[in-house]
Amino acid sequence: MYSFLVNPASRSGRGQKYWERIKSILEERLIPYQVYFSKGPGDMVNLSRRLTGALTPDGEDIHLVVLGGDGTANEVVQGIENFSKTRFSYIPTGSSNDLARDTGISRDPVEALERILLPPGNSPWM
């Protein structure tokens, strides 16, 4: 299951519109997911800490997918408690998207999602 961590305020509110596009694709393809929305600074640190802090060595991995800008991605990474059980993916929806540019992630949210949905081992971003 994918856990989407969304900053709806990214790029002056376009983050919410990008999420709606992503959500429609997930639902059309019957892909299971859960979604969490940031309400302000610090939310993503606490949320990723809560989601990854309860992971056990013999439990399932978690796949965090961040929709936001560089600051949102930074907050999520800061909160990860168990890196060995956490998969991290990024759909850039911010205004500068330096992380996406520096790592070759498409700035098109649908294209970035398509790469994330590839089977493990086929995506260059995981």
pLDDT tens digit sequence for 53-102 = 988 888 899 999 999 999 999 999 999 999 999 999 999 987 677 676 76
Percentage with pLDDT > 70 across the chain: 90
Strand partners, 57: none
pLDDT attached to residue 8: 94
pLDDT tens digits, 20-32? 999 999 999 999 9
Contact 86, 61 (CB under 8 A): yes
pLDDT attached to residue 122: 61
CA separation for the pair 70, 103 (Å, rounded): 12
Strand partners, 33: 2
pLDDT attached to residue 33: 97
Which 3 state secondary structure label does DSSP give 67? strand
Model confidence, pTM: 0.88
Q: Determine how many CB atoms are found less than 10 A away from the CB of residue 41.
A: 10
pLDDT attached to residue 12: 80
| 66: enclosing H helix or E strand | strand 62-68
Which of 56, 36, 57, 58 has the alpha carbon at shortest distance from 46? 36
Q: What is the strand order of the sheet 33-37 is part of?
A: 33-37, 2-6, 62-68, 86-92
pLDDT attached to residue 125: 46
User: What integer is the mean pLDDT of 107-111?
Assistant: 89
